[in-house]
């Protein structure tokens, strides 16, 4: 079993879930709130977790995490946390459950509307201690298990970013066993989320060589193993490396992200369409790479190296083809996005923290053009 201590203590391997009891004890948790969703409850994953809980631990379960976690859901979970006198959190699921768990931890010790604590409103410098949180990812994509960020849809429908070292899980238990049953489409879409993290983190001009190196390593793993994991969900080697790549993607974006994420945050805020974050990242990535191409020096050369592409290969075209091979949507139109939504989407992007870390900051007009391009397929 590999023990990795940055930025969060991580245990990764098949069967890693067995350390959960120890992890709860070390963090003084005896009455955890398990934050998860109905999809997880319908599989055997919840039973697997339940079976390794020590006898003296009494869990409360919140299984109402929506696809894009909302402030409303966070407050429902928080009410259960308080009602049952919980003393910590187990976040079990994909990025949505883990992000929701972090937001519950935040509001357990911080009053007011959640937007008061957003990165855009300077929350990072004001967020203090929160209850301990153990993250157990069941997808390989988000990396949220090793990060201090959480993306929440506010009561007025905006998708905001909250970030603080105090939101970082005390421990990430990364057990690829839990991803063996993940359906093809979710494997593909979450895996492309990891790829987007690795690529965007590498391209942002913020200087952080260790994070950049980790991003390139994660990217190589996604290119090598994602198609294998999609083609054969029981490919244990591929599942291990995708789990690692997902965490590496998040470690990498300690550097920052870019317009792939500002755009997919805007798109993901829509309460009707409920679009999947990883899928959105996959679909908008070629468009954003073309927009950034002239502003990244020779970084595309390094990306091509990590991806094993030829010296002159077009990375954007390669990703379009890879998306097709993974049977992901070809464009935003296919996902239900309409031209009429574009002006509001473009405005949403301008206050997203990821906007500011892109190699160059697009204008509202340029965002509108990028959305239009992604509507047609990049």
By CB under 8 A, residue 55 contacts a second copy: no
By CB under 8 A, residue 60 contacts a second copy: no
Shortest spacing between CB 338 and a second copy, in angstroms: 41
Out of 125, 209, 294, 310, the only residue in the binding site for a second copy (CB under 8 A) is 209
Is the distance from CB of 265 to CB of 159 less than 8 angstroms? yes
> In the sheet that 60-62 helps form, which strands lie side by side, from edge to edge?
2-4, 9-12, 171-174, 133-137, 88-93, 32-35, 60-62
- Of 164 and 323, nearer to a second copy (C-beta) is 164
By CB under 8 A, residue 217 contacts a second copy: yes
Shortest spacing between CB 216 and a second copy, in angstroms: 7
Is the distance from CB of 176 to CB of 243 less than 8 angstroms? yes
- Of 180 and 213, nearer to a second copy (C-beta) is 213
Out of 174, 216, 222, 342, the only residue in the binding site for a second copy (CB under 8 A) is 216
Count of positions on this chain that bind a second copy (CB under 8 A): 24
Instruction: Report angle CA 210, 152, 217 to the nearest 5 degrees.
Output: 20
| Angstrom distance (rounded) from CA 266 to CA 183 | 26
- Of 128 and 209, nearer to a second copy (C-beta) is 209
Shortest spacing between CB 125 and a second copy, in angstroms: 12
343: tokens are 């002006």
By CB under 8 A, residue 301 contacts a second copy: no
Shortest spacing between CB 360 and a second copy, in angstroms: 20
Residues at the site binding a second copy, with contacts judged by CB under 8 A:
2-7, 165, 206-214, 216-217, 221, 244, 247-248, 251, 254
């Amino acid at each position: 079993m590999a023990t990795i201590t940055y930025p969060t203590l991580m245990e990764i391997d098949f069967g890693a879930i067995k350390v959960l009891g120890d992890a709860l004890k070390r963090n003084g948790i005896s009455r955890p709130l398990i934050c998860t969703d109905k999809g997880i409850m319908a599989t055997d994953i919840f039973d697997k977790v339940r079976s390794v809980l020590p006898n003296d631990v009494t869990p409360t379960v919140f299984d109402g995490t929506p696809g894009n976690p909302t402030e409303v859901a966070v407050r429902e979970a928080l009410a259960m946390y308080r009602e049952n006198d919980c003393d910590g959190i187990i976040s079990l699921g994909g990025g949505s459950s883990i992000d929701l768990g972090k937001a519950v931890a935040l509001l357990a010790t911080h009053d007011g509307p959640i937007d008061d604590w957003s990165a855009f409103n300077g929350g990072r410098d004001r967020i203090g201690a929160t209850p301990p949180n153990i993250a157990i990812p069941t997808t390989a994509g988000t990396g949220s298990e090793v990060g201090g960020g959480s993306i929440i849809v506010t009561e007025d429908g905006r998708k905001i970013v909250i970030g603080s070292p105090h939101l970082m899980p005390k421990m990430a238990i990364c057990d690829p066993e839990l991803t063996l049953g993940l359906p093809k489409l979710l494997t593909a879409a979450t895996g492309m989320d990891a790829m987007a993290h690795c690529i965007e983190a590498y391209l942002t001009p913020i200087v952080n060589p260790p994070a950049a190196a980790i991003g390139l390593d994660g990217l190589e793993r996604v290119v090598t193993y994602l198609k294998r994991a999609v083609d054969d969900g029981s490919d244990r080697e591929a599942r291990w490396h995708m789990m690692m790549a997902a965490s590496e993607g998040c470690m990498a974006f300690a550097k920052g992200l870019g317009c792939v994420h500002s755009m997919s945050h805007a798109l993901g805020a829509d309460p009707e369409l409920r679009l999947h974050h990883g899928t959105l990242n996959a679909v908008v990535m070629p468009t954003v790479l073309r927009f950034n191409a002239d502003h990244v020096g020779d970084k595309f050369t390094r990306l091509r190296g990590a991806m094993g592409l030829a010296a002159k290969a077009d990375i954007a075209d390669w990703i379009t083809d890879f998306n097709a091979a993974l049977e992901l949507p070809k464009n935003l139109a296919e996902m239900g996005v309409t031209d009429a939504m574009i002006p509001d989407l473009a405005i949403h992007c301008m206050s997203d923290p990821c906007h500011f870390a892109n190699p160059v900051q697009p204008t509202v007009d340029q965002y509108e053009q990028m959305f239009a391009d992604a509507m047609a397929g990049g």
